Amino acid sequence: MSAESFDLFVIGAGSGGVRAARMAAQRGARVAVADPAPLGGTCVNLGCIPKKLYSFAAHYADAFEESHGYGWTMTQPSFDWATLKANRAREILRLNGIYAQLLEGSGVTLLPSRATLRGPNEVEVDGRIHRAKHVLVATGGRPVVPVLPGHELAVTSNEMFDLPEFPRRLVVIGGGYIASEFASIFAGLGSQVTQIYRGEQILRGFDDDVRHFVAAEMRKKGVVLHTQAQVAQIERAAGALQATLVNGAVLSADTILYATGRRPNTEGLGLAELDVKLTPNGAVVVDEHYRSSVPSIHALGDVIDRVQLTPVALAEAMALVDRLFGEGRRRVDYELIPTAVFTDPNIGTVGLTEAAARERFGDVRVFRSEFKALKHTLSGSSERTLMKLVVDAASDRVVGLHMVGADAGEIVQGFGVALKAGATKAQFDATIGIHPTAAEEFVTMREPSMA
């Protein structure tokens, strides 16, 4: 193999790595991708996709119950965990194959093994040294479990999709979006779920109204939520797992999930040996062009611990490829990134929280609406929907939009375009709503709840 084997060598075949490899190859670059894990990374295999599939599954129990109000009768439905797991596995395998086809079809060399950096332009795979003009580290992140007595008895989000037995009792430790999503999913599937969070309210970083509202809705759906609580130890006793809290309370469970954070996957890659600058938690430090402290080595996605979202990694990959093999005009704007949390009910949000808007702009107007969706006037469900707009008073620009309710992510995606375009509250008001929908509430709120 020649000394300059590749123009770009990508370590990691997750969303960002695959996108960068494909786009670079389509621009004529010689590209290789190395990853021992199934193609697609966390999102496809252990994150976004299986999580959303399980979220769909979790809603059917409510749907069966709610159908009675619409005249449907049926025998008591039952849930089969093995069937869901098998069907999910088949779909993920299909997606792995699609990723392989996309890469191979673009002319990318696939190396299904672990890669280690041996020099600024050298990567070792299976004992063979490959040279590359540019190296991209896109190895993502992994869940971490804090060290405490019995921590090895807990599982992480990686194992939750394929547990051997369905947990009739589940304890979820953590208050972020991953913990809250799994709490909602397994409660919907039929588990008795207890969620433990050390803070005053789950989903730190989200708008306070959203946090309190969704916590109340989750409790209505059966999640027992304990805030300002911590686990002291985990042990196996009387045929079950037991989590003992700092206050002395003991919770019994079939499965205990720790979802308290993630850490970039940088150990063992040879980065430290090359003096690539890392943060204290192991993230690769990069500049605005995703270049590390070693100019030939780049990084993006979860491994830089900037914004841990798949679409952000994709955007970063496009910007990097454009700089290395194109005109270099692409930039990633980290403002106004829409996101969704697949709790029950869902959260959709884009822009600033009320607190952040007040800190940035000072004078803001807030519009808030809470209601029972039309569907639930007959379903018998007590679920409610929350919608909130945060407006900069000086410019009338809508700077924050938040929703808790059915299909919140689908609804907020479109409004993300409006906020990105700089839409004002007056323009929201001038827009005709689609009736009857929940989404129309965003263009019909007239009176501010506070200023």
CATH code of the domain in which 321 resides: 3.50.50.60
Residue 179 lies in a domain: yes
- 45, 171: one domain: no
CATH code for position 375: 3.30.390.30
Q: Are residues 63 and 93 in the same domain?
A: yes
Residue in the block written with tokens 């270049």: 291
Beta-bridge mates of residue 406:
none
Q: Which of 245, 260, 275 is the last residue of a domain?
A: 260
Domain membership of residue 189 (yes or no) is: yes
Residue 138 and residue 269 in one domain: yes
- Give yes or no: 376 in active site: no
**Same domain? 78 vs 220:** no
Residues 241, 271, single domain; the answer is: no
pLDDT at 2: 44
Residue 69 included in any domain: yes
Boundary of a domain, candidates 204, 228, 260: 260
What pLDDT does 450 receive? Answer: 65
Query: What pTM, to 2 d.p., does this model score?
Result: 0.96
Regarding whether 417 and 364 lie in a shared domain, the answer is yes
Which residues have C-beta within 8 Å of that of residue 65, sequence separation ≥ 6? 380, 381
| Alpha-carbon separation of residue 363 from 352, 390, 417, 450 (angstroms) | 14, 10, 24, 11
Is 331 a domain residue? no
What does the pLDDT read at residue 174?
98
Same domain, 254 and 310: no
CA atoms in the 13 A half-sphere facing the CB of 129: 10
pLDDT value of residue 99: 97
DSSP string, 280-340: TTSPBP--TTSB-SSTTEEE-GGGGTS---HHHHHHHHHHHHHHHHS-S------SS--EE
Which residues of the chain have a pLDDT value below 70? 1-4, 450-451
- Mind listing the pLDDT tens digit for each residue in 308-365? 999 999 999 999 999 999 999 999 999 999 999 999 999 999 999 999 999 999 999 9
Residues 254 and 267 in one domain: no
Exactly one of 59, 68, 151, 435 is catalytic; name it.
435
Q: Is residue 450 part of a domain?
A: no
- Does residue 105 sit in the same domain as residue 190? no
Quote the domain boundaries for residue 139: 6-143+263-325
Tell me: do 273 and 409 sit in the same domain.
Answer: no
Residue 360 lies in a domain: yes
Q: How many domains does the chain have?
A: 3
Q: How far apart are CA 79 and CA 57, in angstroms?
A: 9
- Whether 92 and 134 share a structural domain: yes
Based on the fold, state whether residues 172 and 95 are members of the same structural domain: no
Q: State which amino acid sits at residue 205.
A: G
